[in-house]
């Protein structure tokens, strides 16, 4: 991120701090991947909670993310800058809904989510291209997370 753009955001601002994935989005290479990695520890409490708890938190993260990402993009004066990674955080949470959290499923889910987020197959690509604002920033990763979740469930069904 160039110096002028970096001056428009501050990790002291809670909206920016969250939108930038707790600062992980500021890593200069592969910020989306590092934002996704930063979200992984957030799954730990869900080892001890009922399955619907992750759904509730993922939906809240997705809804709140529309504001966080939209406001940060507005402050940066750049739509969907790579450093805005709260959408990856929400997408990762959605990926693991009702999935038994093991090392294998965590790696597989992470890779599936990154695949869908990077490749952007239909309907992710058109959503990413044509939906703007905070909703546009969030929606492609929400769909990627849901597609990764469905794929992970299909894999788990095939191997069981």
Domain boundaries, the chain: 3-159
14 with 86: CB under 8 angstroms? no
What pLDDT is recorded for position 120?
A: 97
Residue 14 and residue 10: Cα distance in Å, rounded? 8
Write down the pTM of the prediction: 0.95
What pLDDT is recorded for position 1?
A: 67
Q: Block means of pLDDT (10 residues each) for the chain, length 160 residues?
A: 82 97 95 98 95 96 98 94 97 97 97 98 96 97 98 96
Q: Is the link from the previous residue into 123 a cis peptide, with omega within 30 of 0?
A: yes
């Amino acid at each position: 991120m160039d110096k002028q753009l970096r001056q428009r955001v501050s990790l002291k601002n809670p909206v920016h701090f969250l939108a930038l994935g707790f600062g992980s989005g500021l890593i200069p290479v592969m910020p989306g991947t590092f934002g996704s990695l930063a979200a992984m520890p957030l799954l730990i409490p869900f080892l001890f909670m009922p399955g619907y708890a992750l759904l509730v938190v993922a939906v809240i993260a997705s809804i709140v993310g529309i504001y966080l990402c939209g406001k940060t993009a507005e402050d940066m004066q750049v739509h969907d800058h790579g450093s805005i990674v709260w959408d990856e955080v929400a997408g990762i949470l959605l990926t693991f809904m009702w999935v038994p959290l093991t090392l294998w499923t965590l790696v597989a889910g992470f890779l599936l989510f990154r695949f869908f987020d990077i490749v952007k197959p239909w309907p992710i690509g058109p959503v990413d291209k044509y939906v703007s604002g905070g909703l546009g920033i969030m929606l492609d990763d929400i769909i990627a997370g849901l597609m990764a979740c469905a794929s992970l469930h299909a894999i788990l069904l095939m191997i069981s």
